[in-house]
Amino acid sequence: MRKTVIDFDVIDSTNDHLKTHYQGYPSHTFVRARFQNRGRGQFDRHWVSDFDQNLLFSMLLKHVDVTVLEIIRHRVKDILLTFLETYGIKASFKAPNDIYVRNKKIAGVLIETKGTAKTLDAVMIGIGLNVNQHRFEGFDATSMAIESGEIYPLDDLFDCLSSRLDEKLPTSP
């Protein structure tokens, strides 16, 4: 296991934290929060989540060849779909970066990079997964709890999902 985990109760954004501090962290660092003040998705859309109800984290990969970025995108999508299937939740990918159950969003992925045309100094993979939240005001969303009728221990889910990402995504050279 290569991962390092940094936990916050509250943070502006896990991806923004990594974008600011990536140079001081090793590859395969996970920044996790119980709540984000400015969680966001693609095109700076807001990611809204109740405190300590969902998985909100970002993973850092360092010194990544730009040619493997698309492979990373596909692996993250496949890992999330397989992870949900493990819990009996049949989900599908909706381009460019969302996971849906039927017509309701259950997860989003935000991949951001820093670097040059050939080598990326940092790849930040932000993931928001709706787990135990039951109400989503203004959003057509669902959660693992809604889909299964169960409440899930967030720490156990995070350990499982982050270990899969840690194992399946490339290491730095």
Residue 79 lies in a domain: yes
Q: What pLDDT sits at residue 138?
A: 73
Cα dist. 70→42, 111, 123 in Å?
Answer: 16, 11, 12
Confidence at residue 114, expressed as pLDDT on a 0 to 100 scale: 93
Looking at residue 58, its pLDDT comes to 97
Question: Which pairs with CB-CB distance under 8 Å and at least 24 residues apart come from 85-91?
Answer: 87/144, 87/148, 87/152, 88/148, 89/144, 89/147, 89/148
User: Hey, how many other C-beta atoms are within 10 angstroms of the C-beta on 166?
Assistant: 17
Q: For residue 33, is it within any domain? A: yes
Instruction: At 103, give phi and psi (nearest 5°).
Output: -110, 25
Please give the pLDDT value at position 84.
98
Please give the tally of structural domains in the chain: 1
Q: Is residue 173 included in any domain, yes or no?
A: no
- Residue 163 has what pLDDT? 96
Question: How many other CB atoms are there within 10 angstroms of residue 74's CB atom?
Answer: 11
Enclosing domain of residue 60? 4-168
Among all chains, which residue has been given the structure tokens 């596909």?
A: 74
Residue-level pLDDT at 39: 52
Nearest to 54 by CA among 132, 159, 126, 136: 132
Residue 25 lies inside a defined structural domain of this protein? yes
Write the pLDDT tens digit of every residue in 109-132.
999 999 887 889 999 999 999 999
Percent of the chain with pLDDT over 70: 91
**Comparing C-alpha atoms, which of 40, 164, 62 is closest to residue 120?**
62
Residue 55 lies in a domain: yes
Q: What is the CATH number of the domain that holds 84?
A: 3.30.930.10
Domain presence at residue 20:
yes
Look up the pTM and report it: 0.92
In the predicted model, residues of the chain with pLDDT beneath 50 are 40-44
pLDDT score recorded for residue 172: 55
